[in-house]
Amino acid sequence: MMIHPLLPELIRLQRRDRYLAPEALAELSRQLEIPVNRIISVASFYQAFRFKPCGKHQIKVCIGAACYVKGAEKLYDAFADYLKLAPGEDTSADGLFTLSKVACLGCCMLAVAVQIDRHIFGHVTPDDIPRILEEFLRMSSAEETSAAKAVAAQQPTAITVIIAFIRFSFSWGKPQFRL
């Protein structure tokens, strides 16, 4: 299988900016000496790349068979209405949420299933939307606080420095235990 050599760069840009910004594509074009239209041609082939900013959080409504027969399309439309999305738009005006349909979340017993970032919600109805978004934002805020505390607590100690040095020494072939 051949992977286009531009893909790693496009992935890097999208991770950094949450979409492929025109300025970033122009800079990539200059760096790689590839015409911008060629870069856009490659990126537009893959559905995963976005040319408009993506929300901070991703809402994915499952439209697989089980979810579809239980009203997935109606639920998707209710999310779009609740987020006040204009026709053809998928990201809320505040940039907090991006809404999309997915073929299957693999949670058929929870139909209609909705995934927001890494959290799955089951048996969702249009009436549940305010509660689910509120619950998600509460969980998300708690996770961000916990992650920030964990990062702050990861100060290197003498033992972690020694272990890192030993691992580095092993990476050069034979172990060199120098202090």
The tens digit of pLDDT for each residue in 146-162 reads 655 655 556 555 444 44
Decide: 38 and 25 in contact? Cβ < 8 Å. no
pLDDT at 134 exceeding the cut of 60: yes
The tens digit of pLDDT for each residue in 119-133 reads 999 999 999 999 999
Decide: 71 and 32 in contact? Cβ < 8 Å. no
Sheet holding 97-102, edge to edge: 97-102, 57-62, 114-116, 119-121
Name the least confident of 22-31, 45-54, 74-83, 122-131.
45-54
- CATH 3.40.30.10 for the 57-152 domain, yes or no: yes
In this prediction, residue 146 carries a pLDDT of: 64
In eight-state DSSP terms, residue 101 is: E
- Higher-scoring residue by pLDDT: 14, 168: 14
Decide: 20 and 14 in contact? Cβ < 8 Å. yes
pLDDT band at 5 (very low <50, low <70, confident <90, very high): confident
% of the chain with per-residue pLDDT over 70 = 79
| Cα separation, 109 vs 129, whole angstroms | 19
Domain boundary assignment for the chain: 7-45, 57-152
- Token pair for 140: 């998300």
In this prediction, residue 171 carries a pLDDT of: 47
CB within 8 Å of 138: residues ≥ 6 apart? none
Name the least confident of 46-60, 66-80, 121-135.
46-60
pLDDT at 98 exceeding the cut of 80: yes
In this prediction, residue 147 carries a pLDDT of: 59
For the chain, give the longest Cα–Cα distance.
Answer: 67
pLDDT band at 83 (very low <50, low <70, confident <90, very high): very high
Prediction pTM value: 0.70
